[in-house]
């Protein structure tokens, strides 16, 4: 399993909420997973090529279902919103052409964003802190961030939560584990995780 730097769900060292859920879910079948922390875009490529079994914290949407196999049970559900600088409190429910948007390389932003993606001028970066800094400095007009990730990152940066402006919700996503189509016994591995995730949720 691979993925790095999506705090608090996943920290740069690979620890975090998502990993804890996976470990607990696999424990129901006395199974374990080996984790490798690499940048998300690389994790996607490695999984697609079958170099690793799966990548976690993946949004299930058109651009990912073509590349990966998903189980029935999501890891968790998260909300993502549009964020703006304090000087740019606009709504992008119908974004203007060439709106400058900050995005993380390789991230999925939901089907609604994908339908408008051609209208954005994207500035692609590797880390959430870079996006927040660009918003504060008016280098970009808008960014889509998961609410808990934005809150965690701002606290990590020792910045007040109101240093940027949160607009309307972009999407609420079920976050999954995406399995490679190139590995053996993928159905069995998915079954074990689904069983564990289902049991885990029954106790929450």
pLDDT score recorded for residue 35: 92
Q: How far apart are CA 71 and CA 69, in angstroms?
A: 7
**What average pLDDT score do residues 189-195 get?**
95
Please, what is the average pLDDT of the chain?
Answer: 89
Residues 101-116 pLDDT 10s: 999 988 888 878 888 8
Give the pLDDT mean for 151-156: 94
> Residue 119 and residue 92: Cα distance in Å, rounded?
11
| SS3 state at 17 | helix
Rounded to whole angstroms, how far apart are CA atoms 49 and 182? 7
- Relative to beta strand 99-104, strand 164-180 is unpaired
**Residues 6+ away with beta carbon under 8 Å from 94:** none
- Among candidate residues 50, 132, 139, 157, the one with its CA nearest the CA of residue 100: 139
- What is the residue whose two structure tokens read 């730097």? 5
Residue carrying structure tokens 């408008």: 116
Give pLDDT, residue 40. 86
Quick check: 25 and 200 in contact, CB under 8 A? Answer: yes
Report CA 198 to chain centroid distance, whole Å.
Answer: 21
For residue 93, pLDDT over 80 is answered with no
Smallest CA-to-CA distance from 78 within 170, 4, 147 is with: 147
pTM above 0.85, yes or no: no
């Amino acid at each position: 399993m691979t993925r790095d730097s999506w705090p608090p769900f996943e920290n740069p060292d690979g620890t975090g909420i998502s990993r804890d859920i996976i470990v607990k879910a696999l424990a129901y079948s006395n199974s374990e997973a080996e984790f490798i922390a690499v940048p998300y875009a690389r994790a996607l490529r490695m999984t697609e090529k079958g170099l690793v079994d799966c990548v976690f914290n993946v949004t299930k949407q058109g651009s990912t279902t073509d590349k990966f196999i998903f189980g029935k049970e999501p890891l968790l559900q998260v909300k993502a919103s549009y964020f703006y600088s304090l000087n740019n409190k606009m709504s992008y429910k119908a974004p203007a052409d060439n709106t400058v948007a900050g995005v993380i390389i390789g991230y999925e932003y939901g089907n609604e964003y994908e339908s408008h993606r051609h209208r954005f001028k994207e500035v692609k970066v590797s880390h959430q802190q870079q996006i927040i800094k660009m918003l504060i400095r008016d280098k970009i007009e808008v960014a889509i961030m998961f609410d808990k990730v934005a809150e965690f990152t701002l606290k990590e940066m020792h910045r007040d939560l109101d240093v940027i402006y949160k607009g309307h919700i972009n999407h609420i996503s079920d976050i999954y584990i995406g399995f490679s189509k190139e590995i053996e016994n993928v159905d069995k591995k998915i079954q074990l995780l689904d069983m564990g995730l289902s049991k885990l949720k029954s106790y929450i």
